[in-house]
Chains A and B, each alone.
Chain A
């Protein structure tokens, strides 16, 4: 059975996102504890952020990087406290601006592994502009968007991913806004790596983080994260053992996209192209006359140059109460990164000059039409 815990994510061969980051020697093994700062973690009991923090702390040693070359940047919100709990370099910045700050860090330093931790309000509301521009530029960094579909830190207003009609403190008669689908948004913003995972599925989360870190460019990872205080149960459909097989549509590169209760060792449901809409649709898979043959099920191609199918897959996510969502890597393609190219331009320019910086400065300011007064 193909489930969300399948860790074969089918990585293509490409230049790694952490290729230029110094690694530790074999004699310098680190553990999750080495990445744990001395600060007391202050999220609410039961918050999904704990699980993600633990997963990140356990996973970071596996990258083999020197701890001092890792930087976490966040904005404002519950999840943005994240950097304080990690024993790396970090900045807890201001609301929505983390992608821009991370852009400056990643562009000025090729030897850093740069991570952004953000939430649905931080990334999609106040910081929406920075998110989409980071994605289109393809700056080498990994953006972890903790999506709990609610504002937590300000105590329970609806967010840009809340379902329409949500009753909250600021919307006693129900929210009116149509929500963003973060994966669709990222794909529309020309992102080169787009994935979705779940806070409580440690194995899948870790596999996605690993793939995201390896990807050279902006890796966008939406993490479904439960807020037990203000939006408890928002993701029950994909978490509950009784419903998740029918709710999670697992995306594994090179594999037919099948899910649901098992029939032939695979899910009884699958995806095929919908010739009428141009999208994809869910069908029953099997040998019966009203079922679709296993051979006709859509095979997931995360590396397709064309994002159309990835976008179609993203649309299978409910915009209202969540009952069904594709989980995994929607898209991973190779495109030159902004920061690599920006550094290349500096190197290219420097390759065409000679002499010390002071001599060149002298020549620069002494250029143009000059005259001398004796």
Chain B
């Protein structure tokens, strides 16, 4: 009997299980299937810091949320429509996030007395009324998997391990996902272990077939491809896009890339990725510590390579003195901070954006460093290139602030044509720059009048031998100087050089649809980094409710774009949502004397669009002098067209 197919415009699925259950892989495959199908999507992996927390416990739960739609979406979604729970702990850890009526697919196999106790259940929730408000499908996924793969003669343990593919097959059927890419993926991934390969493929197909034949599922769903700008797309995570952006920076500048790095979550994947691309002239150096990582990168930059160091917040703390050296020696350098929850070791696998002030001020002395931040996983590519442009053009360390959500989250990314990418000219010094004839000398601190950048003369260039270092340099010839007036001048000049970068930036994009027709908003929402998605989604909800609100999202945090002050002054109220306690808000208040107010959460998770919409709406009501209950925005039903 042909089953009913129901059309939906968007769905949020969360796959949850024990850290050893392969939920990240399952989610990633479902995402790839959805991407190639043409949906817009956004993902949120969420996993514990422990590699294998005790099995079956709440701390050991790993999950992967994917939001896919037939229209443009901005976030991985606040609340899942569907939860796939592979054990009692996964059910208990995630149930609180589900709206009433949500679908739950449960693997009953692990709902034993022992596992229920481990998860903190006094009674089996599948046998009492506690899940009555949800549409529960309790299935023995493990048992069906073992049955489906028995012909391959695997141990029971190995056979059961394919249960994630059974679950993936079932969900793929339920939402009409194409299967070819996952089958090809499994065949490649397990090419060297044929029985495991065949078992995974068989489990995946069995899951699909189960969905199609069983009477448990009477409806399957269709989510049409989303209209997107023309181009070729791929699904990409932030860390991968960032690594590609760095490689592109090397290619576009003609410089060899030198990465000095020490492994740290959630930045290590950039080191892993770059180490695979040595053919591009990329050198990766796994250093003995964070300090050596940046030290070697500085040495490489001094020698004429593009020095890069990648880390997370604790690593930035260790690198601070070296960043100061790069400020003083005015060498191109990229410092990538994939932010995570802090302080100290904090929440290694969770996201946060609380390193802005550290990036801005976390050094001794007046040590200005340009800061850029990507807004989405795919934007990590462009932002890395922009960081390279600034570093090379202005001879300065540049801080790039990504975060854990961007690093591991993914979205469809329109692959750029190389002709769209900027050309970056290292413009090495080759000749003396001061005096004539016999008297001609090379002065390493004689600056370009427009950019205030100093010349970059690399070893091996005859006649330009010079010494640089951390001691204050005299303007021009660059010898050590303790002269008070010179120090004052150099401090101001280094600051002025960073400010000059603003002259190379395009005007801000102000998203205020009514402004052109005189219906401009009174409230501006100002953000930076990975909050772009939730802020955009929140703004859409408020606009859909019929109110005006403007949005500006900053890529450049230092220097600020030249028109930011004017833009801020156009609005009565400015809301700055951040995953910190108000760091950008502090900067804009100090710089522009505007009464920016914060919307701040540090939960280790992206901001929720619905809650943000309510906060924006309330500020709009206040600014417009109207009484509206925006709490309804926080409960927009799943399935309705939304972001």
A residues at B contact (CB < 8 Å): 22, 37, 39, 66-71, 73-74, 76, 83-84, 86-94, 97, 100-109, 111-112, 129-130, 133, 342-343, 345-346, 348-350, 352-353, 357-358, 360-362, 364-374
In-complex Cβ contact of A370 among B234, B260, B292, B301 (8 A): B234
Within the complex, the shortest CB–CB distance from A96 to chain B, in Å, comes to: 8
Contacts of A353 in B (CB 8 A): 279
Interface contact A371-B295, CB-CB below 8 Å: no
Interface contact B251-A361, CB-CB below 8 Å: yes
Interface contact A104-B295, CB-CB below 8 Å: yes
Quick check: is B26 within 8 A (CB to CB) of the other chain? no
- A104-B300, A345-B278 known; A68 vs B465 contact (CB < 8 Å): yes
Q: Within the assembled complex, what's the spacing in Å between the Cα atoms of A97 and B320? A: 13
Interface contact A357-B251, CB-CB below 8 Å: yes
Which residues 227-273 of B sit at the A interface, judged by CB distance below 8 A?
227-236, 244, 247-248, 251, 256, 258, 260
Quick check: is B210 within 8 A (CB to CB) of the other chain? no
Quick check: is B302 within 8 A (CB to CB) of the other chain? yes
Interface contact A372-B232, CB-CB below 8 Å: yes
Interface contact B303-A369, CB-CB below 8 Å: no
Q: Which residue of B lies closest to A133 (CB)?
A: B288
Interface contact A372-B418, CB-CB below 8 Å: no
Interface contact B247-A107, CB-CB below 8 Å: no
Q: Other than the known A89-B459, A350-B281, what 18 A-B pairs have Cβ atoms closer than 8 Å?
A: A68-B464, A70-B459, A88-B465, A91-B299, A91-B302, A93-B469, A104-B302, A108-B258, A108-B303, A130-B295, A346-B279, A350-B279, A364-B247, A370-B232, A370-B233, A370-B415, A373-B38, A373-B228
Q: Which residue of B lies closest to A90 (CB)?
A: B467
Interface contact B295-A108, CB-CB below 8 Å: no
Interface contact B233-A371, CB-CB below 8 Å: yes
Contacts of A83 in B (CB 8 A): 467, 469
Contacts of B303 in A (CB 8 A): 71, 104-105, 108-109, 112
- The 13 sampled A-B contact pairs (Cβ below 8 Å) are A68-B465, A91-B299, A91-B467, A100-B260, A101-B299, A104-B258, A104-B297, A346-B279, A350-B281, A361-B280, A365-B381, A369-B35, A370-B415
Q: Which of B285, B289, B322, B324 has most A Cβ within 10 Å?
A: B285
Interface contact B231-A373, CB-CB below 8 Å: yes
Within the complex, the shortest CB–CB distance from B429 to chain A, in Å, comes to: 12
Q: Within the assembled complex, what's the spacing in Å between the Cα atoms of A148 and B175? A: 74
Quick check: is B32 within 8 A (CB to CB) of the other chain? yes
Q: Within the assembled complex, what's the spacing in Å between the Cα atoms of A141 and B109? A: 61
Quick check: is B307 within 8 A (CB to CB) of the other chain? yes
Contacts of B390 in A (CB 8 A): none
Quick check: is B631 within 8 A (CB to CB) of the other chain? no
Size of the chain B interface, CB-CB below 8 angstroms: 73
- A89-B466, A108-B283, A373-B230 known; A361 vs B300 contact (CB < 8 Å): no
In-complex Cβ contact of A66 among B38, B234, B462 (8 A): B462
Contacts of A365 in B (CB 8 A): 244, 248, 381, 415-416
Interface contact A100-B38, CB-CB below 8 Å: no
Within the complex, the shortest CB–CB distance from B258 to chain A, in Å, comes to: 5
Interface contact B325-A93, CB-CB below 8 Å: yes
Interface contact B300-A105, CB-CB below 8 Å: yes
Within the complex, the shortest CB–CB distance from A336 to chain B, in Å, comes to: 16
Which residues 46-90 of B sit at the A interface, judged by CB distance below 8 A?
none
Contacts of A67 in B (CB 8 A): 462, 465
Within the complex, the shortest CB–CB distance from A350 to chain B, in Å, comes to: 5
Interface contact A104-B296, CB-CB below 8 Å: yes
Q: Within the assembled complex, what's the spacing in Å between the Cα atoms of A122 and B285? A: 23
- A109-B459, A342-B283 known; A92 vs B470 contact (CB < 8 Å): yes
Q: Which residue of A lies closest to B289 (CB)?
A: A129
Q: Which residue of B lies closest to A343 (CB)?
A: B283
Contacts of B278 in A (CB 8 A): 345-346, 348-350
- A68-B461, A361-B251 known; A373 vs B229 contact (CB < 8 Å): yes
Quick check: is B282 within 8 A (CB to CB) of the other chain? yes
Within the complex, the shortest CB–CB distance from B69 to chain A, in Å, comes to: 15
Q: Within the assembled complex, what's the spacing in Å between the Cα atoms of A105 and B458? A: 11
